[in-house]
A and B are shown apart, each in its own frame.
Chain A
Amino acid sequence: MDSKYYATWEEYLAEHPELEGKPEHAIAPKIQKYEDAVFVFVMDLLL
């Protein structure tokens, strides 16, 4: 899914170099969870 309103963790990390060296295993699932939560919320509005 190519969109400026949705990012995978890899895309997010590329835009946020300040996270380099931080505990990725803890950060990645949390960031991805909220990316997905907004996606589901938006799509539910149209279902």
Chain B
Amino acid sequence: MTDAVAMTNERNQMFRDLFSGKTPKRVPLSNPATQDFAIQYAGLDLAECQWDLTKLEPVYEKFCQDFVTDTYPGGSIRLPSHYQILGSTPIVMSSSGFMQHPEVVGLLAEEYDEFIASPYDCIVEKVLPRLFTELNGAPGKVAMTLAKAMRAQSDDLAYLGTIRAKMNAKYGYATMMGALTEAPFDFMADFLRSFKGISGDVRRYPDKIAAACEAVLPLMIKKGTLPNPAMLGYTFIPLHMAPYLRDKDFATLYWPTFKKLVETMAGMGQNVQLFVEQDWMRYLDYLYELPENTIMRFEYGDPKLVKEKLGKKHIISGFYPITLLQTGTKQQCVDKAKELMDVLAPGGKYWFQADKSVINFEAKGPVADNMRAVLEYVHENGTY
């Protein structure tokens, strides 16, 4: 057995232990930096590398060589080729090469009933042509566009998959599968009604929102289902809108279908990782109700309170403030990691991740050195 295979086996066991509620050999850790960061770190052009993926293998080689982590770093589902072919308005490349999500409205308020009657049909017939200009036209043109876009994305993901396999084989990362879905309320907000639109709908059409969330729940479950629930991995659910809702609107509009989604995933034997964006401290009692060993990666809030209220039942992660990597000294950055580990690691059920992703790299800035120091500290001092 090679060293890399042995490391993969060890890391896989750490995550199996973590996800099943056992204390792993040491605190598992993940590099918070993204593919965007990795490309800039390698000194290459962000836009060019996302179009020409053949340039990415040396990018990942350097990234993996320089930063210790237990999980494959980087990755991306938002590569530009298929979005360009589709005439995308919700995901566009900025002048600096970052893929961005402007505020868009894919579903009009007067289309709620149509959506509730058949969400997927409404998505295909109304939402996609509105958001993707090349899907709005003659049927033949739309069919050809869809075929080209799917082929482009399939080729891109396959290429990224080969790089991932090479890096896993060389650096011995945990081999985890992932699926992505959303809380029904967030799905209705993000690309369909928009932040502004759903915020008004909460007051004007609360019954429509509740019905739409129920209607779209089966799609969210299907989207989040792994090919084989027994696989090592998790369904990733980023949570967006709850901190911007009043408590009573959260209780009636957000929570019921979100809870059903997580319970259904857990009932199938799948792990669920929530990215608890913004500040959810007023909802901790709700989060406690979710199935045991739900992984919760927090952005903001009180780590001590979270450990106290949720830490015996759920797996806690996040909280490490990436802004400190930009503003702090190396010692301050390491001290912060130690502080969080002292609070969150005892008793297990802890995965070291940052509060958000690091996407930007400045050659003369401190982020890379500080991040390397933090990851090495956690790796070397996280043994139980």
Q: A residues within 8 Å of B by Cβ?
A: 1-6, 37-47
Contacts and interface: CB of A to CB of B under 8 A. Distances in A.
Given A43-B223, A46-B191, A2 B118 contact: yes
Contacts of B90: 45-46
B182 A47 contact: yes
Contacts of A4: 121
Given A1-B222, A47-B180, A47-B182, A41 B153 contact: yes
A38 B88 CA distance: 17
A3 B223 contact: no
B190 A47 contact: yes
A4 B118 CA distance: 9
Nearest to A39: B222
B340 interface: no
Dominant secondary structure of chain B at its interface with chain A: helix
Given A1-B218, A3-B120, A47-B181, A38 B86 contact: no
B182 A41 contact: no
B315 interface: no
Given A40-B223, A45-B128, 5 more contacts: A1-B120, A3-B120, A5-B121, A41-B150, A46-B192
Interface residues of B, number: 28
B180 A46 contact: no
Contacts of B172: none
A7 B191 CA distance: 25
28 contacts: A1-B218, A1-B219, A2-B118, A3-B121, A3-B124, A5-B120, A5-B124, A37-B150, A38-B150, A39-B120, A39-B223, A40-B223, A41-B149, A41-B150, A41-B153, A42-B120, A42-B128, A43-B223, A44-B180, A45-B88, A45-B90, A46-B127, A46-B131, A46-B187, A46-B190, A46-B192, A47-B187, A47-B190
A44 B124 CA distance: 13
A38 B147 CA distance: 10
A11 to B, nearest CB: 13
Given A39-B222, A44-B77, A45-B132, A3 B118 contact: yes
B106 interface: yes
Interface of B: 77, 86, 88, 90, 106, 118, 120-121, 123-124, 127-128, 131-132, 149-150, 153, 180-182, 187, 190-192, 218-219, 222-223
Contacts of A5: 120-121, 124
Contacts of B219: 1, 43
B121 A46 contact: no
B286 to A, nearest CB: 23
Contacts of A39: 120, 222-223
Contact of A6 (B120, B149, B192): B120
Contacts of B182: 47
Query: Which one of B88, B90, B106, B118 has the highest number of Cβ atoms from chain A below 10 Å of its Cβ?
Result: B118
Nearest to B86: A45
A42 B120 CA distance: 9
A9 to B, nearest CB: 15
B140 to A, nearest CB: 17
Contacts of B187: 46-47
B118 A46 contact: no
A34 to B, nearest CB: 10
A38 B154 CA distance: 11
B236 to A, nearest CB: 10
Contact of B123 (A2, A37, A40, A46): A46
Contacts of B77: 44, 47
Contacts of A37: 150
